[in-house]
Amino acid sequence: MSNAQVVVHRDGDLLAAAAAARLVTSIVDAQAARGHASVVLTGGRTGTAVLEHLNRNAARDAVDWSRVDLFWGDERFLPSGHPDRNETQARAALLDHVALDPSRVHVMEPSDGRFGDDPEAAAAAYAEVLASLASQEDDGVPAFDVCMLGVGEEGHVASVFPDSPAVHEKERTVVAVRDCPKPPPTRVSLTLSSVRHAREVWLMTTGEAKADAVATALSGADEVELPAAGATGQRRTLWLLDTAASAKVPASFTP
């Protein structure tokens, strides 16, 4: 991952605030260049904190939210409105507070949605959404402006875990994940090939427990064993870390 950049912040709260400010700039720049922007959201503590900080940031209103397409990197396959769904948390943190175009908020189907308790059908439907918004040269996935991802202690991103069927997937853009090592066991997730369509991929993580995974990914690990190593952007791969998570970053990435 020689093209990756590493930015270290003192703590998780400062990381989230800085990422929120960075996201405003990225969206505004994309809208100035193309008239619209597209962002892949992530759940978890850090992903939600970024949206909370963005909602409190005065620069939030520099964005034309009606011209932003929002996607999710993964979703917990739970009923609509369940507090553990990434969508539910994102709406409370930011989405319910800005003037989005509902047709541009692309949620993954819940377990009580159109397809009932069938995550494979939900994954296939999300793949169709992506394909409908992709240009011909994009191979079924839009060129997202920013894809934000968390990183797990074992190196998972979205719901793509080490040596899992999802990390071996080469054809599909979205997959159902069953028997997930972390609860809830059933999820829907973008594959790594979809993540790699993003112009920029931001990997955001905090805490000493993540330091080994961060260092291993930056050292060029195989994505099958450590999926975060395969989460790279077309133009930029940015690791946003707190001091603890950066403790073992290879010297070549330190200023």
Burial of residue 60 (CB within 10 Å: 0-12, 13-18, 19+) is middle
Please report, for the chain, the start and end positions of each structural domain, with discontinuous segments joined by +: 4-140
pTM: 0.96
- How far apart CA 93 and CA 184 sit, in angstroms, is 21
Q: Does position 138 have pLDDT exceeding 80, yes or no?
A: no
Q: Which of 246, 224, 223, 244 is nearest to 1 (CA)?
A: 223
Cα–Cα nearest to 206, from 28, 4, 45: 45
Provide the β-strand partners of residue 242.
9
Confidence of residue 139 (pLDDT cuts 50, 70, 90): confident
Across 58-62, 75-79, 197-201, 249-253, least confident range: 249-253
pLDDT tens by residue, 217-243: 999 999 999 999 999 999 999 999 999
Residue 2 has pLDDT above 60, yes or no: no
Q: What was the pLDDT predicted at 255?
A: 64
Task: Tell whether the model's pLDDT for residue 137 goes beyond 90.
Answer: no
pLDDT tens readout for residues 57-95: 999 999 999 999 999 999 999 999 999 999 999 999 999
Q: Specify the CATH class of 4-140 in words.
A: alpha beta
